[in-house]
Structure 1
Amino acid sequence: MKYLTTTIATVSILGLAACTTTGNVEKNAALGAAGGALAGAVIGNNVGSGDAKTGAAIGAVVGGAGGAYAGNQKDKAIGEGTRVRQRANGQPLYYDQSAGRYYYFDEARGRTYFENGELRG
């Protein structure tokens, strides 16, 4: 029963991580929580009183917090917030770190343009 609960929780968290489109914070938090829960369950089962549930809960909290922090740092490093940026017509925007501006790709012309329509060199 201990392993079934841990397995269900891990699969659920990984499933939610696959659905995120908002950024690295959510994805890394979910993956960190899943990994932490799994590691915590194994450690909790093999050490002390053999309580895998408590180990999984502690591992999920620590792993989730660590993953969220790592995702936040990753977003800051690329200059991206935690949400997907899009133009009004739904085109995704990408961040040009050297220019410090967002741009989009025009498939019809095969060129990239900054948000204001200026051609990106």
Structure 2
Amino acid sequence: MKGISKILLVSASGLLAAACGTTMTERAATGGLAGAAIGAAVDSSVTGALVGGAAGAAIGAATTPRYDSVNRRQYYDERARRYYFYDPSNRRYYWEDGSPR
């Protein structure tokens, strides 16, 4: 039972980390790295890092970004010298990289 709870902890942590990134590749990479770090910390072995990294990468690749990155209008903020966009689904503004504005 103890091994199952560790796997669940690694999977849940990988799911949270997999939400980082705007493209499938970015989400898979951040999920894999975070899953490997958490897996190694929980299991303190190479096996834990491999399992956590694989789970995080798979979950990261399977998730979708929180906004439509293809069909959106971008605006330029001259003071910040960055582009931003409006997400009508939650009525919020985000920078081009997806972080809240």
TM-score norm. by structure 2 comes to 0.45
TM-score, length basis structure 1: 0.38
Whose Rg is larger?
A: 1
